[in-house]
Structure 1
Amino acid sequence: MIIASQLAFTAVFAFLLVKQKFTAYSINAVFLLSIGAGVLALHSSSDRPANEPNREYILGFVMTLAAAVFYAFIMPLVELTYKKAKQEISYALVMEIQLVMCLVATVVCTVGMLAKNDFSVIGREAREFELGETKYYVIVICSAIVWQGFFLGGIGLVFCGSSLLSGIMIAVLLPITEILAVIIFNEKFQAEKGVSLALSLWGFFSYFYGEVKQSKKKKPDPEIEMDSSLPPKTLESNV
């Protein structure tokens, strides 16, 4: 839910960095998706682990919020890079940018895990995993692959559309994840989840409805194009 706040930050950074133009529909989408995520925070106090110190709880909140802000800053920054590039932005170049970003992230995470000796914990976690050690490693590997697809898709949306579009697509995943949890893990379907899903889908379709209307306005009238292709009439030809 804290990560979902990245949409509001993305909208702000997109406006500042790439001069994103907002319409009533896009503003409505950002507002509804943010409210939809906020609705899920109702009655969420039970999510806090038992006996967790206040210091660790607050630190986790602050770090997650910082991650949302930084990720919201990255997407408009990538869009700005595309616009400022002095060469054609191709699919291959998008893949190269994604590769560099992931390599840097991998190095940073690896250094952090080595410093905290986290690699030694993986084996113990695998042995204690309820579904079995083999399934633990399968889930870890599949999660890494799926996340790569997620980040590549996010960067691709920035390339094909805008950073705001990428942020909207990420924000709409939250209520869908909650509904899937109800179906797969038999979680309780509370009223907040239904309201959140309705608001998020409303905001999602509001954005794309506005985009369709904008694209129709930009399309030139074919009759006007045909008239403009003809040579201008002169006074002699009229006579």
Structure 2
Amino acid sequence: MLYSIGLLYLPVSTYTLICASQLGFNALFSFFLNSQKFTPFIVNSLVLLTISSALLVFQNDSSSGSTKVSKAKNAIGFVCTVGASAGYAFMLSATQLAFKKILKSQTFRVVLDMIIYQSLVATFVIVIGLFLSGEWKTLGKEMDHFEMGKVSYVMNLVWTAISWQVFSIGAVGLIFEVSSLFSNVISILGLPIVPVLAVFLFHDRMDGVKVMAMLLAIWGFVSYVYQHYLDDLESKVRNENVNGVSEVNVSFVGNENVNGVSEVSLVGRG
């Protein structure tokens, strides 16, 4: 809802730039709530992904701000967009905290339960707002006036709902398997790629800004993945060292037992 209000009152360029700040909010919340460790590769990734998203401002300027709004509404849009970015980042970090401290289960069912409960709460709040505002009365008229027809209207709603659920499963699944920050990195990675896909799907004009944004996003993503590779390598070395020490201890204890038995046998024979 906050994102929608922000998009209603702000130019697309400003809105996109503020939305890119959610990665910074997520990093802040992850540090305090999830004990996220920041290495040079992770910081480099966050900076590059934020810059790549901010670059979209320049290619969106031509389509932004077709309607003028008052300064008061502009301020409301700014506050709502910042609140939405911070709120989404906090939700991701809180979800990771819930997995570790409350749910403590390693099953896919837990991921589905988390998505279902969050969606039920959101749906309940939105349905109440729909009826209290009286907008439910205009749904039929809205469908009739849809330029592409009623079938397209319904298909739009259905596939948007399905797409968001698939996104939710992926986002929460990444939080469950890796971290909330990694999940947000994947989400931000998609922002610069969308305009590039629009070139092939909708024949939009390709420019240097889109290419630069995509390359920076990929560079930032690779940097983050490389850090995970280093962490995984370090974890394997640590496990090998622990296993090696355990085998040495077992061997040492075994030799002590054998020597003890031999000594007892010798004493008995004497």
Question: Which residue in the other structure is 1:23 paired with?
Answer: 39
Partners of 1:176 and 1:197 within 8 A in 2? yes
**In structure 1, distance between residues paired with 2:81 and 2:171:** 19
Residues 184 and 211 of structure 1, relative CA distance in 2, 3 Å threshold: same
Question: Which residue in the other structure is 2:101 paired with?
Answer: 84
**In structure 2, distance between residues paired with 1:195 and 1:151:** 28
**In structure 2, distance between residues paired with 1:191 and 1:86:** 46
Check if 1:229 corresponds to 2:247.
Answer: yes
Q: Which runs of 5+ in 1 are unaligned?
A: none
Measured after TM superposition, the shift of residue 38 of structure 1 is 0.9
Question: Which residue in the other structure is 1:186 paired with?
Answer: 203
Check if 1:58 corresponds to 2:75.
Answer: yes
Moved more, 85-94 or 95-104: 85-94
Question: Which residue in the other structure is 1:132 paired with?
Answer: 149
Select 1:177's aligned residue among 194, 198, 212: 194
For 1:172, what is the secondary structure of its paired residue? helix
Measured after TM superposition, the shift of residue 138 of structure 1 is 0.7
Partners of 1:4 and 1:174 within 8 A in 2? no
**In structure 2, distance between residues paired with 1:143 and 1:11:** 28
**In structure 2, distance between residues paired with 1:6 and 1:156:** 19
Q: Structure 2 length as normaliser, TM-score?
A: 0.79
Residues 213 and 87 of structure 1, relative CA distance in 2, 3 Å threshold: closer
Partners of 2:130 and 2:136 within 8 A in 1? yes
For 1:187, what is the secondary structure of its paired residue? coil
Moved more, 201-210 or 182-191: 182-191
- Quick check: which one's helix share is greater? 2
For 1:70, what is the secondary structure of its paired residue? helix
Question: Which residue in the other structure is 2:134 paired with?
Answer: 117
Q: Structure 1 length as normaliser, TM-score?
A: 0.89
**In structure 2, distance between residues paired with 1:190 and 1:62:** 31
Residues 187 and 120 of structure 1, relative CA distance in 2, 3 Å threshold: farther
**In structure 2, distance between residues paired with 1:44 and 1:172:** 17
CA RMSD of aligned residues (A): 2.3
Give the number of the structure whose alpha-carbon radius of gyration is greater.
Answer: 2
